[in-house]
Structure 1
């Protein structure tokens, strides 16, 4: 089995600093015009990956990025709350997650699959780094189990969440992973050694501007005893 992880494209509020001041849901910015462009680049490149399933965070920037892939491959988008954004342990009011419901998203993005059962319905209000890793490990294990006989799959998420998901796949909470927007990390299951292996991380050579907006944690995860 093969799992690809990617991050949404460039956000509108990174370009338009006034966007949040008038937004009804400040934590849920859409893609910027440039964000749509690089999502399209990812979508075109995804035709070489043999993908069978697209799993996405419910945040609109991820749904829009997923749609760019889904349109190229004619696939549905499966929303999973287990791969939602990380708000940190002390979020600001504007960072509190308030995504549209799946039914509301379906009206805007027809490729959403309302029959898919998310690994969780919980929307975190705050999380430590350790709690993020615990949450994503549970979800990615369940996602892999769902699709282990029907891959490859791609998960479209956010910087911190994407890194934590990759670490969950590798069972290494400090694995160094790249998180540039719309970049790809590829994980393969080695049946001989019965373990997951990282083939590459942060692949961005299919985008004309290469890697953009890489992010990482400021401190390592402390393993619990």
Structure 2
């Protein structure tokens, strides 16, 4: 069994600093043109992989990225709040998570599977690093149980991607890489009875990690 985790593409608000000033949902930036391009490249790469399920954060940048993957694989997108963005313990007003409902998302992203039951319906208002790791560990363990022996990919965010990977490996210090639209692949080694991580760099951009 393999599990893949990736981060969304480059965000519009990274290049257009004024975007948040008029946005209805300032925390929900879409992809930039360059971000959509790298997402398309990721989708083409994923076409070669044996992926049965696409799990996505409900934020639009992740849905846009997930769509590129799901279109290539011709499978639905399962929106899951367990893999949503991390806002930290003291979020600013513009960081408050306010994603569209699945019904609203489906109008733009028709591959959204409205029958899918997420690992949680809670949207965190604030989280310590420990709480993020706990939330992500629970989410990924539920996904591993739900899709037992079926390869799946999670499209998430930098901090959550780190926490999800650490949850799989059961190692809260593992240095997961988080470049946009890069892949971390997790394989279970039956002989050693543990999960291992492989990283696909492909010209990494915008790596992020926790401050120490």
TM-score normalised to structure 1 length: 0.93
State how far apart, in whole Å, the 2-side matches of 1:107 and 1:92 are: 29
In structure 1, the partner of 2:129 is: 129
The reply to whether residue 156 of structure 1 matches residue 155 of structure 2 is yes
The corresponding residue for 1:190 is: 189
Structure 1 residue 216 corresponds to structure 2 residue 209: yes
Which residue in the other structure is 2:61 paired with?
61
> What secondary structure is seen at the aligned counterpart in 2 of 1:3?
strand
The alpha carbon displacement at 1:48 in A equals 1.3
1:7 paired residue number: 7
Q: Is the 8 A contact 1:182 1:204 kept in 2?
A: no
Q: Deviations over 1:88-119 (max 9, x none)?
A: 00000000000000000011100000111000
Q: How does 1:20-169 map to 2 (within 5 A)?
A: 20-149=20-149, 151-169=150-168
In the TM superposition, what is the alpha-carbon distance from 1:191 to its structure 2 partner? 2.1
RMSD: 0.7
**C-alpha distance in 1, partners of 2:108/2:28?**
14
Report SS of the residue matched to 2:133: helix
| Mapped partners of 1:191, 1:142: distance in 2 | 20
Give the gaps of 5 or more residues in structure 1. 220-225
Deviations 1:25-73 (A, max 9, x none): 0000000000000000000000111111000000000000000001111
Please give the alpha-carbon distance, in whole angstroms, between the structure 1 residues aligned to 2:119 and 2:2: 19
CA distance in 2, matches of 1:31, 1:193: 40
Shift of 1:152: 1.1
CA drift of 1:148 comes to 1.2
Q: How far 1:174 moved relative to its partner?
A: 0.6
Give CA-to-partner distance per residue, 1:119-175, whole Å, 9 cap, x none: 0000000000000000000000000001113x2110000000000000000000010
Give 3-state SS (helix, strand or coil) of 2:180's partner.
coil
2:187 aligned counterpart, secondary structure: strand
1:196 Cα offset (Å): 1.2
Aligned-residue offset at 1:193: 2.6
Residue equivalent to 1:222: none
Counterpart CA distance in 2 for 1:190 and 1:204 is 22
Partner secondary structure for residue 17 of structure 1: coil
